[in-house]
């Protein structure tokens, strides 16, 4: 008899399980999505391996996922013919959590959970949604889980079992249980969660969360089917029945029936009959062709939403998306989604490299680990690319730099910016939500993506002296006064401060519009951008400002005032030399008697505050 070894979980697992098992998390159904997605990953890995070594397919030619439930015994079995796990891999993958940053993340969650119950719930929601508790989500519904697995590199098959406490066991399986290749996960359901064992419930869940899985998912299904019995078989059966009747008649010597009185369709007409039979069989639940291969005109928004949710493990709909066909140097299909929310800072902070592009070649998933593929400012988008042809026998680094992928990357960036421009045009409400979440990314983009700088600048919006609406540079330029050559802006920490800024006074008095830059990064961004559509950006808090509408007379007046007030400016400069670079007479103010301005090349007050905060 096989001996069973006991192992303790790595330190983080019981903590994670504790959070899961005791969570008030209502959306327990995600367990199925997680297990199916693992099965799909395992099939992807196998397909990849089989490209190099076809012999791994020997025992089992199919790539598939099969699900069967046994409500009587409270059991659910999920079987995949993927790559499976060796004993060592079972120990590593199901005994510890390899993901970096897990310990920190758990600490964060536990703290949150302790402080506020409602937050705690959303924290666990977050955990399952974004971090993906993955396999351990089985314990949301099951009190015992066993995981049988066989990897192509091992003859033996192992069984991992746990009841969710601090420990698990592993034993070698008996030869008669051999599953060939892949994994079989058996969930022993909690009494309270048996609703998920219902066949139609399972079918619904697969449809809802996993219909886009790229391998067939079969459900063991009991169904009643109406079948047609062909005419000749009906006649045959009738003839047999008649013969039997006759025999019975003879045997029993019962009253003689006149067969000819029975209603018939006429003897020489062929006839069929129908019959209802109960049957059990494997039914494929996900029959759709992958959404990205379909013609965008035939896919409606709700399908994109559902796809996005399963693709990105998000329980919200995307803010916007684009679906397109790239043609030319390399043919590919692309799907780009913008999530409704910026991933929480916490997650962003430990994921320095974001893998947000899933790469397929001719429907086959290749990798999502392209490293930092898109520019960082686009870390928030979620992308799927299916290329018709790529050189795959190369390392990731080489792959990234192939002509094909460089082309794809450029087109993804372009399509993303176009998509955002579209959103701004057709849905200002959603666009506002986008800016609230990802406005800082656009500002980063101005610095990071020099070639697209103007395109990104076109997407920026600011409050302005013109009214309550947010204003684009294009709007601003459309309203520029005759003779105005520059775009005026002021940076301030709040709208009130911007509006009451003494620098703004003159401009408003002269009828110029001023953009209010209230974001921390704005001033820095404007200094990088320097101009939009060949109109220089001008920070009105910097000295030496010139308007396009000064006439000779005002210039002369200013000169005479300068002369007249020289004693005062000299006096100020002398006595305040520690604090001032210079004191000048200016025509910039209308109501305030004086203002402190930053020098033309220097930092403004806002910028100084920002830099100080950065250095702290
Ligand atoms: P993730 O899928 O995010 O890596 P999971 O907790 O879902 O995390 O799974 C942990 C690991 O266990 C996986 O990375 C994989 O190596 C392994 N695993 C889980 N399910 C399977 C399976 N059905 N077949 C093969 N390996 C699996
Ligand atoms: Mg997983």
Judge whether residue 477 has pLDDT over 70.
yes
Nearest of 374, 453, 454 to residue 416 by alpha carbon: 374
Beta carbon of 383 within 6 Å of any ligand 1 atom:
no
Using pLDDT thresholds of 50, 70 and 90, give the confidence band for residue 495.
Answer: very high
3-state helix, strand, coil in the chain (%, to 5): 45, 20, 35
Q: Are 225 and 212 a contacting pair, CB within 8 Å?
A: no
Ligand 1 atom with minimal separation from the 132 CA? 3
Residue 379 CA to ligand 1 center (angstroms) comes to 25
Residue 139 CA to ligand 2 center (angstroms) comes to 14
- Judge residue 368's burial from the number of C-beta atoms within 10 Å of its C-beta, 0-12 exposed, 13-18 middle, 19 or more buried: middle
Task: Please state the separation of Cα 306 from the chain's center in Å.
Answer: 12
Could you tell me the pTM of the whole model?
Answer: 0.63
Helix (H) / strand (E) containing 607: helix 605-615
Sign of the alpha-carbon torsion through 333, 62, 222, 229? positive
Residue 80 CA to ligand 1 center (angstroms) comes to 12
Nearest of 312, 298, 327 to residue 129 by alpha carbon: 312
Cα separation of 83 and 60, whole Å?
11
Token pair 């004693």 is found at 567
130 is in an annotated binding site: yes
504 is in an annotated binding site: no
Ligand 1 atom with minimal separation from the 133 CA? 6
Which pLDDT does position 343 carry in this prediction?
72
Which pLDDT does position 429 carry in this prediction?
95
Beta carbon of 502 within 6 Å of any ligand 1 atom:
no
Which pLDDT does position 295 carry in this prediction?
94
Per DSSP, the chain holds a count of helices (H) and strands (E) of 20, 20
Which of 41, 60, 98, 128 should be mutated for ligand 1, with most atoms under 8 A from CB? 41
Residue 484 CA to ligand 2 center (angstroms) comes to 58
Q: Are 95 and 14 a contacting pair, CB within 8 Å?
A: no
Cα separation of 493 and 431, whole Å?
23
Using pLDDT thresholds of 50, 70 and 90, give the confidence band for residue 333.
Answer: very high
Cα separation of 460 and 517, whole Å?
11
What are the structure tokens assigned to 207, written together? 């449809």
What are the structure tokens assigned to 436, written together? 């609230």
Across the range 188-208, mean pLDDT stands at 93
Beta carbon of 134 within 6 Å of any ligand 1 atom:
yes
- Among protein residues, the one with the nearest Cα to ligand 1's atom 11 is 93
**DSSP letter for each residue of 563-582:** HHTHHHHHHHHHHTTTT-S-
Read off the pLDDT of residues 201-253 as tens digits, 9 standing for 90 and up.
Answer: 999 999 877 877 889 999 999 888 888 888 888 888 778 878 877 776 665 55
Read off the pLDDT of residues 123-160 as tens digits, 9 standing for 90 and up.
Answer: 666 555 555 568 988 998 999 999 999 999 999 999 99
Strands 515-517 and 487-491: parallel
């Amino acid at each position: 008899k096989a001996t069973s070894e006991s192992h303790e979980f790595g330190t983080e697992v019981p903590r994670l399980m504790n959070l899961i098992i005791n969570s008030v998390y209502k959306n327990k159904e995600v367990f199925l999505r997680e297990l199916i997605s693992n099965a799909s990953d395992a099939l992807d890995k196998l397909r990849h391996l089989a490209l190099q070594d076809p012999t791994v397919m020997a025992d089992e030619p199919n790539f598939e996922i099969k699900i069967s439930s046994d409500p009587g015994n409270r059991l659910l079995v999920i079987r995949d013919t993927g790559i499976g796990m060796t004993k060592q891999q079972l120990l590593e993958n199901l005994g510890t959590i390899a993901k970096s940053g897990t310990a920190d993340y758990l600490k964060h969650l536990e703290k949150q959970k302790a402080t506020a119950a409602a937050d705690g719930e959303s924290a666990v929601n977050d955990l399952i949604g974004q971090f993906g508790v993955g396999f351990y989500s089985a314990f949301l519904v099951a009190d015992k889980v066993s995981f049988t697995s066989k990897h192509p590199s091992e003859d033996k098959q192992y069984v991992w079992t746990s009841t969710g406490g601090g420990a698990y066991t592993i034993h070698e399986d008996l030869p008669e249980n051999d599953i060939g290749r892949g994994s079989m996960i058996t969930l022993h359901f909690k009494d309270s969660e048996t609703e998920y064992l219902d066949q139609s419930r399972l079918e619904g869940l697969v449809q809802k969360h996993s219909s886009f899985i790229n391998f067939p998912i079969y459900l063991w299904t009991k169904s009643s089917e109406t079948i047609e019995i062909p005419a000749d078989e009906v006649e045959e059966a009738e003839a047999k029945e008649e013969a039997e009747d006759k025999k019975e008649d003879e045997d029993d010597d019962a009253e003689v029936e006149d067969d000819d009185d029975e209603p018939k369709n006429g003897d020489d007409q062929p006839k069929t009959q129908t019959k209802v039979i109960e049957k059990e069989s494997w039914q494929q639940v996900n029959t759709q062709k992958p959404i990205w291969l379909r013609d965008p005109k035939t896919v409606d928004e709700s399908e994109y939403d559902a796809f996005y949710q399963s693709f990105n493990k998000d329980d919200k709909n995307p803010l916007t998306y684009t679906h397109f066909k790239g043609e030319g140097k390399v043919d590919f299909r692309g799907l780009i989604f913008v999530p409704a929310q910026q991933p929480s800072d916490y997650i962003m902070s430990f994921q320095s490299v974001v893998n947000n592009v899933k790469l397929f070649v001719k429907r086959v998933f290749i990798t999502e680990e392209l490293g930092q593929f898109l520019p960082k400012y686009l870390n928030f988008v979620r992308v799927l690319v299916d290329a018709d042809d790529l050189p795959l026998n190369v390392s990731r680094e080489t792959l990234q730099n192939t002509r094909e992928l460089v082309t794809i990357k450029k087109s993804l960036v372009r399509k993303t910016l176009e998509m955002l421009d579209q959103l701004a045009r057709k849905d200002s409400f959603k666009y506002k939500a986008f800016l609230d979440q990802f406005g800082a990314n656009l500002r980063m983009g101005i610095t990071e993506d020099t070639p697209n700088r103007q395109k990104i600048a076109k997407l920026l919006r600011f409050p302005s002296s013109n009214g309550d609406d947010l204003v684009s540079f294009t709007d601003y330029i459309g309203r520029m006064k005759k003779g105005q050559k520059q775009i005026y802006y002021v940076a301030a920490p709040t709208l009130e401060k911007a509006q009451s800024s003494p620098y703004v006074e003159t401009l408003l008095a002269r009828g110029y519009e001023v953009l209010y830059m209230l974001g921390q990064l704005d001033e820095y961004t404007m200094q990088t951008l320097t101009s939009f559509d060949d109109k220089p950006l001008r920070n009105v808090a910097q000295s030496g400002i010139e308007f396009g509408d000064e006439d000779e007379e005002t210039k002369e007046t200013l000169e005479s005032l300068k002369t007249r007030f020289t004693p005062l400016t000299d006096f100020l400069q002398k006595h305040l030399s520690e604090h001032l670079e210079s004191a000048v007479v200016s025509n910039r103010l209308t109501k305030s008697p004086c203002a402190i301005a930053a020098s033309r090349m220097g930092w403004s007050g806002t910028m100084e505050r920002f830099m100080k905060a950065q250095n702290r």
